[in-house]
Amino acid sequence: MAAMGDSGVFTIGELSRRTGLTTRTIRFYSDEGLLPPADRTYAGYRLYDSASLARLELLRTLRELGIGLDDAAETLAGRSSVADIARRHVELLDGQIQVLRLRRAVLRAVAKNDSELDEVRLMKDLAAMTDEERHRLIDEFWDEVTAGLNINPDFNAQMRSAKPSLPDDPSPEQLQAWIELAELVQDKDFRARIRGMSEQQSAARDAGEPMDAPTGEARERWLRWSSAAGEAMDAGHAPASPQGRALATSVAGEMDKSPAEAADMIEEGTDTRAERYWQLLATINGWQQWPSQVPRAEFLVAALRALS
């Protein structure tokens, strides 16, 4: 039996002074077998040596890093290395950080929008979805609005390829955009509208029209028409003005359609909510936002009607 005060031997009180841990904590670790005493006094008091001090310092460090007692015990017993325990806890912390970031994003959005309780619940549920679950929701939307229809495969692939992916720390605007998008794709009227547009494409393909997916050339052509319509609107020209009619004549000619047919085609493909779908995706994914095309499309339709 060693006597108290022997060189290199410490009582619980001395360990407490050296480490800053309370005697109650040290006694708990000792009772749990994490810090077995090196010896005892004649009176039965526990004594610890320099190895015990080093073990206690390691234990304190592990606990301060959030390592649980079971994992700490494995490390102290040599069954797991510190590196193994660290790797496991890094994965755990990554998941916890993700949850905390989403909670912060929800609370920021709630504070910004002065949201009511029902909206808070919705935000919480939608924010907790994984990207895989968000992608599945979009896929289910396109499945429903194109099921059984003769849709151009390239066009279908383009529509499905754009998926919402929230960053780890979304802004209130990104979170709000995701919530709005989730509500939009589940809205029965919106689904019916996109289904109707899909049915029109299917009927045209059944009638022998190719209805090809938009190519770079087609997109460039539309952007040119849209830009010209925007310039006419900014200059204060009406659709039926000479400037509007000249633009409509050019558009109908390039489409190789009558003005009425061209107007119908542009009108069929124009929908405020369909455009909103892409605006929301751009916000969520951090893509460049394009100016709204609907007012310009409406100008072109009105100009084409004026020629009919």
pLDDT top residue among 77 and 150: 150
pLDDT confidence of residue 122: 63
Contact by Cβ (8 Å): 42, 76: no
In this prediction, residues 176-186 reach a mean pLDDT of 87
| Any domain includes 100 | no
* pTM for this predicted structure: 0.59
| Any domain includes 83 | no
In the structure, what pLDDT confidence band is assigned to residue 211 with cuts at 50, 70 and 90?
low
Query: What is the rounded CA–CA span in Å between residue 178 and residue 194?
Result: 19
pLDDT over threshold 90, residue 301: yes
H-only helix segments in the chain: 12-19, 23-31, 50-64, 69-76, 82-113, 117-127, 131-146, 153-161, 172-185, 188-206, 216-234, 242-255, 259-268, 272-285, 294-307
pLDDT confidence of residue 103: 73
| Any domain includes 253 | yes
Residue where one domain finishes, among candidates 20, 55, 77 = 77
Domain containing residue 35: CATH number:
1.10.1660.10
In this prediction, residues 84-113 reach a mean pLDDT of 76
Query: What is the rounded CA–CA span in Å between residue 270 and residue 272?
Result: 7
**pLDDT tens digits, 190-206:** 999 999 989 988 988 88
Q: Taking Cα atoms as reference points, which of 268, 263, 242, 241 lies closest to residue 251?
A: 263
Residue 24 lies in domain: 12-77
In this prediction, residues 92-106 reach a mean pLDDT of 75
Domain count, the chain: 2
pLDDT confidence of residue 171: 82
Phi-psi sector, 8: left (phi>0), alpha (psi -120 to 50), beta: left
pLDDT top residue among 241 and 179: 241
Find all residues with CB under 8 Å of 22, minimum gap 6, and list them. 16
pLDDT over threshold 60, residue 1: no
pLDDT confidence of residue 123: 64
| Any domain includes 226 | yes
| Any domain includes 247 | yes
In the structure, what pLDDT confidence band is assigned to residue 97 with cuts at 50, 70 and 90?
confident
Query: What is the rounded CA–CA span in Å between residue 82 and residue 102?
Result: 30
Q: Which letter, b or e, does each residue of 8-46 get, where b requires 16 or more Cβ atoms within 10 Å of its Cβ?
A: ebbbbebbbeebebeeebbeebbeeebbeebeebeeeeb
pLDDT over threshold 90, residue 116: no
Query: What is the rounded CA–CA span in Å between residue 225 and residue 251?
Result: 7
In one-letter notation, the amino acid at residue 49 is D
In this prediction, residues 258-281 reach a mean pLDDT of 89
| Any domain includes 169 | no
| Any domain includes 117 | no
pLDDT over threshold 80, residue 79: yes
In the structure, what pLDDT confidence band is assigned to residue 152 with cuts at 50, 70 and 90?
confident
Token reading at 186? 């589940």
Q: Taking Cα atoms as reference points, which of 95, 84, 135, 78 lies closest to residue 285?
A: 135
| Any domain includes 49 | yes
pLDDT confidence of residue 4: 44
Q: What is the DSSP letter of 150?
A: -
pLDDT confidence of residue 69: 87
**pLDDT tens digits, 4-51:** 444 578 899 999 999 899 999 999 999 998 899 998 888 888 899 998
